[in-house]
Amino acid sequence: MKVITILVILCLSTVKGDATGFGPGEQDYGYVTIREGAHMFWWLYHTTANVTDSSERPLILWLMGGPSGSSCGQGNFLLVGPRDEMLYERKNTWVTDFNILFVDSPVGVGFSYVDSLRYLNENNKESAADLLELIREFYIQLPKFSKTPFYVFGAGYGSKIGTEFLVLLNDEVKSGNIDSNIKGMSMMGSWISPVDTVLSLAPFLYQTSLIDENGRDKVENHAEYLKSLYDDRHYYQTTLEWFNLLNTIYYVTDGVDFANIITKMEKTGRLDNSDFKEIMMNKMTGNDFRVDSATYLYLLMNGPVKAALNIPDKITWGFTNVDVLNNLLADFMLSVTDTGQLSWINKLKWKNEQEFKNAKRKTVWVNNTMEGYLKQGGGLSFYWLNVAGQDTINENPEGTREFLRTMTGF
């Protein structure tokens, strides 16, 4: 992967909340002005593990998908934070074992904001560069974490930003500009090689009996046309074709849920592209929770959370920022590899790739239940978790926790 390192020389400003945070437990949070007109929000939950200092446990940066999902909102209250959207204690919160850093990225998402729409990002490299400036300032504010094992967990599009970000961060560490103990990255439902994913859809849906030969041909035709647009560098049109493809899949499967094929979406007939785009982006940002959850979270984030974290009055937290999404449409289908998930993994080139390819796939057992499979070698681990779709963390929490234990050693 060829990465252009962007050197940004500017005066960073940070506003840290005077309050202790929202809810119980040690927290830190604040804004970083990552560049002119762009202000990114971060929120750290210190682990509740029985340790002398929280820095003794790994630091996990959580990046939501989208590219317009809010880590501080959805990632925190709907997935891995200590409380859910109803403020009930979450049994499987990651804070029990790890320090969790939620960042609303790209800028403009969640509590992050810009002074003018011209400051929004137009591509993944810009989003990654912004995140680099935030983590640079984070280590200045909380230097005790600079030696702590650091992991990035990216969901969907968050894995695309996270991959680019880690390349930039690693360059800065090697140059001596940032002190960070980088240990690894997890990609959940990764969106770093979208065309590979698209080409895997027709055979996957056919093999799982969700479409017949006629449906398979329709999906394949879309996939091949999308690939031709991509190969010809018509990236904006490639993204529009992606939504057309999903609309076709919805139609030929009679409403299969994009986020989890064992559930069904509400049948509403064939949708036009604008309607379907909204539905699918809700799926990909993790916004497709029951209506009550969405309502409670919206009121929570714009009420007591906003007040407790000293968020400016002019900021309204939302599930999706349409301006952010539209600005990144041309970048949405671009790959961040030089290469379905396993397809791009098998195309990666690194010095220990043969060790991974030769590794035996093993079953993952938790409490006498087979939760999935693991293939591990050459510094790379690939998990298949059973009975789970895009919302893996909630649908298979035991398998997810085992995956965390294996990756981090805790």
pLDDT band at 63 (very low <50, low <70, confident <90, very high): very high
**Is 128 contained in some domain?**
yes
Proportion of the chain above pLDDT 70, given as a percent: 82
**Is 107 contained in some domain?**
yes
pLDDT in tens, 126-179: 999 999 999 999 999 999 999 999 999 988 888 889 988 999 999 999 999 999
Q: What is the pLDDT of residue 3?
A: 33
Q: Which of 284, 305, 337 is the last residue of a domain?
A: 284
Are residues 150 and 22 both part of a single domain?
yes
**Is 330 contained in some domain?**
no
Q: Which residues contact 314 (CB under 8 A, 6 or more apart)?
A: 113
Are residues 74 and 184 both part of a single domain?
yes
Are residues 207 and 168 both part of a single domain?
no
Are residues 55 and 153 both part of a single domain?
yes
**Is 313 contained in some domain?**
no
pLDDT mean across residues, the chain: 83
Structure tokens at 19: 């309050």
**Is 339 contained in some domain?**
no
Q: Which of 188, 223, 249 is the last residue of a domain?
A: 188
Q: What is the pLDDT of residue 15?
A: 42
Are residues 267 and 395 both part of a single domain?
no
d(CA 278, CA 17): 34
Q: Which residues contact 48 (CB under 8 A, 6 or more apart)?
A: 25, 82, 95, 96
Are residues 69 and 124 both part of a single domain?
yes
Q: What is the pLDDT of residue 137?
A: 97
Q: What is 338-353 written as a DSSP string?
A: ---HHHHHHH---TTH
Q: Which of 156, 188, 220 is the last residue of a domain?
A: 188
Task: Please compute the mean of the pLDDT values over residues 380-398 and round it to a whole number.
Answer: 72
- Please tell me the pTM assigned to this model: 0.80
**Is 259 contained in some domain?**
yes
Proportion of the chain above pLDDT 90, given as a percent: 49
**Is 320 contained in some domain?**
no
Q: Give me the number of domains the chain comprises.
A: 3
- Whole-angstrom Cα Rg for the chain: 21
Are residues 178 and 240 both part of a single domain?
no
**Is 396 contained in some domain?**
yes
Specify whether the CB–CB gap between 230 and 333 falls below 8 A: yes
Task: Please compute the mean of the pLDDT values over residues 284-309 and round it to a whole number.
Answer: 77
Q: What is 312-369 written as a DSSP string?
A: -TT----S--HHHHHHTTTTTT--SS---HHHHHHH---TTHHHHHHSPPEEEEETTE
Beta bridge partners of 381: 376
Are residues 156 and 203 both part of a single domain?
no
Q: Please give the residue range of the domain that contains residue 69.
A: 13-188
Query: Which of 194, 185, 149 has the alpha carbon at shortest distance from 166?
Result: 185
Least reliable range by pLDDT among 59-68, 90-99, 186-195: 186-195
Whether 10 shows a pLDDT value over 50: the answer reads: no
pLDDT in tens, 187-214: 776 677 888 889 989 998 999 888 999 9
Q: What is the pLDDT of residue 187?
A: 75
Helix axes 213-231, 235-252, angle to 10 degrees: 170
Are residues 198 and 179 both part of a single domain?
no
pLDDT in tens, 115-139: 999 999 999 999 999 999 999 999 9
Are residues 164 and 254 both part of a single domain?
no
Are residues 207 and 248 both part of a single domain?
yes
Q: What's the CATH code of the domain at 183?
A: 3.40.50.1820
pLDDT band at 8 (very low <50, low <70, confident <90, very high): very low
Whether 393 shows a pLDDT value over 80: the answer reads: no
Task: Please compute the mean of the pLDDT values over residues 207-236 and round it to a whole number.
Answer: 94
Are residues 230 and 367 both part of a single domain?
no
Q: What is the pLDDT of residue 347?
A: 60
